[in-house]
Amino acid sequence: MAEETILEATERTSGREALRKNVQAAIALAGAVRSTLGPKGLDKLLIDDQGRTLVTNDGVTVLENARVEHPVAKMIINTSSTQDRVARDGTSSTVVMCAEMLRNAWELVRQGVHPAIIARGFSQAERFALDSLNDIAIKANEEQINSAILTSLSGKLDHAMEKHLAELSFNASKIILNEGRADPTLVKLTSQNGGAMSDTELITGLALAKSKIHPEMKERGGPGKILILDGGIERKQPKFDSTLKISSTGMLDAFKKSESRMLQLQIENLVKIGCDLIACKDGVDDEARQMLLDNGIVAYRRVEKKDLDLLSRACNANLVPDAGRASKEDLGAFISTKEELRGGVNHWILEGKDSGATLIARGSTDDVLGEVERCFNDGLGVACQLQEEPILLPGAGATQAAIARRLRRYAETVPGREQMAIEAWADAIESIPRALASNAGYDGTDSLLKLTASQNSSGDYMGLGLENGEPMNSIEEGILEPIRITKQAISGATETAISILRIDDVLWAQMDAQIPDEVQEKLQSMGTE
C-alpha cells in the first residue's frame, strides 16, 4: 500500500515487459539506419520542424536529427555519437550490432536464461573478439591507408568525389602530423557556394577570406612577427550617450588632435615592438590605416573571433585588447603570408608553426556543401587515426564473419548457459555482413553462408563482393578499415546492450500541467470565498 502511494504519479513497467519494450525501442532505432550501411546503402531525407531538409546516409546524423523520446533509444544514440567522436566511422554498425545483441538476448530470456548470465556471456565474447582482432589485423602502407579512407567514405557521394576527398583527407593528415600525433582541429573548414564538388581544394596554412585594409600595403612574404588584436585601432567611442559642449574656439580641433595622438601612440608602439602584421577583430580608423601604411605594417580587420584564436595558435601569439599596450612577448611568429584568388574570392593565407591546413569546400547548394564537409571530416578523422596507428582490418564484412566463426569454436569450450550468450553475440555481429548484402540487393543469409564457407577454405580476409555477390579477398581489393573503428564499435555496442539488459524496472513520471503561482493564488482565494 505504501509503495502504491509513493508511486501513484508514476507509470511503472518491470520484469520481462520492461525488457521487451526496451528491445523493441532498440530494434526500431536500428531499422532507421540499417539501410544506410555500406557502399550500396541508401540515403535518408530529414525534415525538421521548420521545413528545412537534409539528405544524408551518415548514421549518426540521421539519429541526432531524429526526435526521440524513449530513454533506451537515447542511450543507443549517445553510443553512436561517441563512436563518431572517437572513430569518425562505424556509427550505423554500432547501432545495428547493439540492437541485434538485444534481440538475441530477448530470445534467450524467453527460453529461461537470466539476463545476468547473458551479460556475462556477452562480456566474455567481447573480450575474445577484441583479442582476435590482433590476429586478423595487418600493418598498413601508404596505399592501404588511402584505400581505408576511401572505404570509410564509400556510398556517401559519387565514387570520383569520394576518391578526391579521400586524397585531400590523407594530405591534410600529413600536413598536421607532428611527432606521431595528428590533430584534426588544425584543419579549418570553409565553404563557398558555386562551382562543382570536385573544385574542393586543400591549402597548406590558415586561409581566411580577407584582403589587406589598404591596397598599397606590400605583402611581407615572411618570416615576420604578427600581433593578434582582440579589438580595433579606432577612436574611442563613449559607452553612454554624451554631449560635447564647445565653449571656446579651437577646442574642437584640440579634441580631434588628442584622438589622433592616441592613434599615433598605438602605431608607434607597434613599430617599437617590431610588429610586421596585425589582425584585428574590430575596425581600423582611416587615419590609423594611413599610419600603418607609412610604417610598412600590413593589417587585416573584421577577423572573426574563432579565426583570431586559430591565428593565435598557429603563430603562438597572445590575444591583446589594445595595440598601445602590446609588448614583444605578445607577438607571434609567422613563416609566410600571401594573398591568392581562390574560386573568385580573395584569401589571405598564413603559414605558422601550427597553422595546419584549410579546406575550401565547393558545391552548388548548401546541402551539397554540408555533405562535402561531413564526408571530409569523416575521412580526416580516419586518416588521423591511421597516421597514429597504421593498423588495418579487412572490410566488406570479412572481420565480423571471421570473429563470429572463431567465437563459435570458443563457445564450445565454455560450460554453462554463457555458451548460449556467446553464440547469440556471434550471431549479432554477423548482422553487419547480412546488412551489407541486403543493401546491395542480395539475400543476407545466403551471402553470409557463402562468405563463411569461403573463409573456411581461403582464410579470414575473404569478404563480400557487392558488385557480383561473390566472396573476394578484401585486402587485395583494397577494402580496409582501421582497427580502432571496429574496436570502438564492438565495445560501445556490447557495453550499451549489457546496460540495457540490466534494466528490469522503468519508471515514467507523469508530468502535470504547471499552473503559474499568481493563478494558483487566485484559485485558492476563490475557494475560500
Q: What is the CATH number of the domain that holds 187?
A: 3.30.260.10
- Is-contact 392 481, C-beta < 8 A? yes
516 within domain boundaries: no
pLDDT band at 3 (very low <50, low <70, confident <90, very high): very low
Residue 296 shares a structural domain with residue 314: yes
Quick one: average pLDDT of 1-29? Answer: 71
Residue 179 shares a structural domain with residue 195: yes
pLDDT at 481 over 70: yes
527 within domain boundaries: no
Residues 6+ apart with CB under 8 A from 418: 117, 120, 121, 124
Least confident piece of the model among 246-250, 314-318, 322-326: 246-250
- Is-contact 227 330, C-beta < 8 A? yes
Q: Where are the beta strands (DSSP E) in 395-454?
A: none
Residue 199 shares a structural domain with residue 240: no
Residue 230 shares a structural domain with residue 322: yes
pLDDT band at 237 (very low <50, low <70, confident <90, very high): low
Residue 235 shares a structural domain with residue 260: yes
pLDDT at 236 over 50: yes
pLDDT at 312 over 60: yes
pLDDT at 62 over 90: no
Residue 455 shares a structural domain with residue 374: no
Look at the block and give the residue holding cell 574542393: 200
Entry pTM:
0.80
27 within domain boundaries: yes
422 within domain boundaries: yes
Q: What is the CATH number of the domain that holds 318?
A: 3.50.7.10
Number of other CB atoms surrounding residue 22 within 10 Å: 23
CA dist., res. 88 & res. 489, Å (int): 11
Q: Supply the pLDDT for residue 253.
A: 65
Q: For 271-301, what is each residue's pLDDT tens digit? A: 999 999 999 998 888 888 889 998 989 999 9
Q: What is the CATH number of the domain that holds 402?
A: 1.10.560.10
DSSP labels, 102-171: HHHHHHHHHTT--HHHHHHHHHHHHHHHHHHHHHH-EE--HHHHHHHHHHHHTTTS-HHHHHHHHHHHHH
Give the Å distances, CA to CA, from 321 to 228, 281, 333: 9, 10, 19
Residue 439 shares a structural domain with residue 456: yes
526 within domain boundaries: no
3-class DSSP assignment, residue 245: coil
DSSP 42: P
Residue 234 shares a structural domain with residue 351: yes
Residue 238 shares a structural domain with residue 333: yes
pLDDT band at 254 (very low <50, low <70, confident <90, very high): low
Q: Supply the pLDDT for residue 407.
A: 96
Q: Supply the pLDDT for residue 1.
A: 41
Q: For 334-350, what is each residue's pLDDT tens digit? A: 999 998 888 788 899 99
523 within domain boundaries: no
Query: First and final CA of the chain: distance in angstroms?
Result: 36
Residues 6+ apart with CB under 8 A from 275: 225, 226, 227, 297, 326, 331
Give the Å distances, CA to CA, from 172 to 179, 188, 404: 15, 10, 36
Q: For 149-165, what is each residue's pLDDT tens digit? A: 998 888 888 888 889 99
488 within domain boundaries: yes
Percentage of the chain beyond pLDDT 70 is 89
196 within domain boundaries: yes
Residues 6+ apart with CB under 8 A from 117: 416, 417, 418, 421
Report strand pairing: 206-208 vs 345-352. antiparallel
Least confident piece of the model among 47-61, 118-132, 174-188, 189-203: 47-61
Domain that holds residue 165: 142-205+360-389
Q: Supply the pLDDT for residue 178.
A: 84
Q: Supply the pLDDT for residue 515.
A: 47
Residue 485 shares a structural domain with residue 415: yes
pLDDT band at 513 (very low <50, low <70, confident <90, very high): very low
Q: How many residues does the chain have?
A: 529
Q: For 436-453, what is each residue's pLDDT tens digit? A: 999 999 999 999 999 999
Residue 132 shares a structural domain with residue 151: no
For the chain, how many structural domains are there in total?
A: 3
Residue 62 shares a structural domain with residue 197: no
pLDDT band at 494 (very low <50, low <70, confident <90, very high): very high
Handedness of CA 262, 267, 268, 274 (dihedral sign): positive
- Is-contact 359 375, C-beta < 8 A? no
Q: For 18-30, what is each residue's pLDDT tens digit? A: 888 899 989 999 9
Distance of CA 397 to the CA centre of its chain: 24
Instruction: Give the residue from 390, 515, 402 showing the smallest Cα distance to 456.
Output: 402
- Rounded mean pLDDT of the chain? 86
